[in-house]
């Protein structure tokens, strides 16, 4: 078992990436790695499981992908190939769509169809369910604690 406390803190970018790759190689080789860090991007890059501790208490623990999915919520990102005309933008705003492109829609999959109908026939670049990152998971978990 390898115990690491803030293994990339204070390192230059190249060295930090090298350390991350070494940790991944050890984990792939069957070594157990326990890593503590405040750098949530490092935890997201390396962790299979995550535990969030706030004020000395464990507030959340589980598999990283399950936690990211759980906290993603019902948000969708919509990118158009061209800027929408004012009338289309007005319809999007009426449906609760935010942003200037890419657009963010906070609603369920059924309501997303109304958003897609509002932009028709404009060409779409991408429509995807928005994903959470560990920073968002951390902030939500600590707010609930």
3 pLDDT tier (thresholds 50, 70, 90)? very high
| DSSP secondary structure letter of residue 43 | H
Residues 6 or more apart whose Cβ sits within 8 Å of residue 115? 76, 78, 92, 95, 97, 105, 107
Q: What tokens appear for 135 in the block?
A: 């920073």
User: How far is it, in rounded angstroms, from Cα 58 to Cα 5?
Assistant: 17
Q: Is 90 left (phi over 0), alpha (psi -120 to 50) or beta?
A: alpha
Tens digits of per-residue pLDDT, 75-102? Answer: 899 999 999 999 999 999 999 999 988 9
Specify the pLDDT at position 145.
Answer: 78
Residue 20 vs residue 109, higher pLDDT: 20
Tens digits of per-residue pLDDT, 30-46? Answer: 999 999 999 999 999 99
Specify the pLDDT at position 50.
Answer: 96
Domain with CATH 3.40.50.300 in the chain: 2-69+134-144
Specify the pLDDT at position 32.
Answer: 95
Tens digits of per-residue pLDDT, 54-74? Answer: 999 999 999 999 999 888 777
Domain with CATH 3.30.70 in the chain: 74-129
Q: What tokens appear for 79 in the block?
A: 């990118």
Classify 2-69+134-144 by CATH class: alpha beta
User: How far is it, in rounded angstroms, from Cα 138 to Cα 31?
Assistant: 26
Question: Domain 74-129 is of which CATH architecture?
Answer: 2-Layer Sandwich (3.30)
Specify the pLDDT at position 110.
Answer: 87
Specify the pLDDT at position 44.
Answer: 94
User: How far is it, in rounded angstroms, from Cα 88 to Cα 99?
Assistant: 13
In percent, the amount of the chain with pLDDT more than 90 equals 81
């Amino acid at each position: 078992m390898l115990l690491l406390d803030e293994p990339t803190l204070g390192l230059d970018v190249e060295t930090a990436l090298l350390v991350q790759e070494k940790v991944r190689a050890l984990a792939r080789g069957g070594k157990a790695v326990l890593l503590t860090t405040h750098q949530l991007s490092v935890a997201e890059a390396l962790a299979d499981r995550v535990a969030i501790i706030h004020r000395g208490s464990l507030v959340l623990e589980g598999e990283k992908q399950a936690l990211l999915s759980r906290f993603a919520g019902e948000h969708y990102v919509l990118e158009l190939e061209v800027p929408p005309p004012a009338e289309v933008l007005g319809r999007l705003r009426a449906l609760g769509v935010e942003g200037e492109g890419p657009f963010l829609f906070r609603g369920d999959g059924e309501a997303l169809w109304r958003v897609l109908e509002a932009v028709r026939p404009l060409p779409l670049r991408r429509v995807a369910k928005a994903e959470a990152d560990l920073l968002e998971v951390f902030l939500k978990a600590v707010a609930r604690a």
